[in-house]
Amino acid sequence: MEQTREQIGFIGLGLMGHGMAKNIVDKGYPLSIYARKPSAAVDDLLQRGARQADSLPALAAQATVVFLCVTGSKDVEDLIRGPNGLGQSLRPGSVLVDCSTADPTSTVALAAELAPLGITLVDAPLSRTPKEAWAGTLDTMVGADQATFERIQPILATWAGKVVHIGGPGDGHRMKLVNNFISLGYAALYSEAMAVAQAVGITPQRVDSVIRGGRMDCGFYQTFMGYVLDGNKEAHKFTLQNAFKDLRYLESMADAAGVANPLGNAVKNAFALAVGGGAGQSYVPMLPEIIGKLSGVDLAPKVTPPAADKP
């Protein structure tokens, strides 16, 4: 007997979600989307063959697996627990896949609430950037039981090049916070290092000439420096506000585990300064410019404008 093909629902068509949903529908899965307002992403997905649901219950009625790609735990909780939310609307046997970076405590609580309803909550947060989301080469770390992981793995593979089954429910979000602590720790460290170097007369270009291609180089460093060196605002489109949120989740997780996290707090405070100064919607690679200003150091990208055309 042929297995019934999964029907996919998707909520959260932002910088990452648009590319993920695009890959799901382009690779042959029936896709329904829900969005609170019109957008270019909605128009694009409809042209590719997706269907639009006008409410959460309508989406739930059309889907066996629903992906959430929203900002954080409050948004996820509202979508599940709110009036006419997914907790009331999804059919038994459905799977809800949370791809946000969320508080693991909330994730585990939601999974326990949904289980008696026959709904399985999976956490599958993301790593990499919107560029990889569009290309279908994101990384994801999955918290799920083995049977559910095997069920959704082919769908994850439509938009992820690296899929790691990290553990049970909540473990994906726990690992994501560790992952972001490392990457955002790099960002804070690079920012302060650039400010110190510039203050003593060593430009970011000269720093880069030593770091790039050496043992201290890495993929995050390269995308981060795309703005610092060239002013490329598209290099890593992840806001300082979202980074600050993730670091607060990390702090909460460390506190719950009874673990000292002094470096995590230092990194969080670097982002808190930037967000508190009104730069929350700036992207992470812009942090050196902000940290530099606090010490009177100019780290604005030195980009040479293109030469004017000759008459």
What's the per-residue H, E or C state across 39-92?
CHHHHHHHHCCCEECCCHHHHHHHCCEEEECCCCHHHHHHHHHCCCCHHHHCCC
Say how far apart CA 53 and CA 62 lie, in whole Å. 8
Band (105; pLDDT cuts 50, 70, 90): very high
Domains of the chain, with CATH numbers? 8-168 (3.40.50.720), 174-294 (1.10.1040.10)
Residue 282 and residue 239 in contact, taking contact as beta carbons nearer than 8 Å: yes
Say how far apart CA 160 and CA 280 lie, in whole Å. 28
Tokens found for residue 174 = 């726990």
Query: Which whole-number Å values give the CA distances from 29 to 55, 63, 159, 248, 285, in the listed order?
Result: 20, 11, 12, 36, 35
Rounded to two decimals, the pTM is 0.91
Tokens found for residue 232 = 């490329």
Residues 51-96 have pLDDT tens digits of 999 999 999 999 999 999 999 999 999 999 988 999 999 999 999 9
Residues 111-136 have pLDDT tens digits of 999 999 999 999 999 999 999 999 99
pLDDT cut 90: percent of the chain above it: 92
Say how far apart CA 191 and CA 52 lie, in whole Å. 43
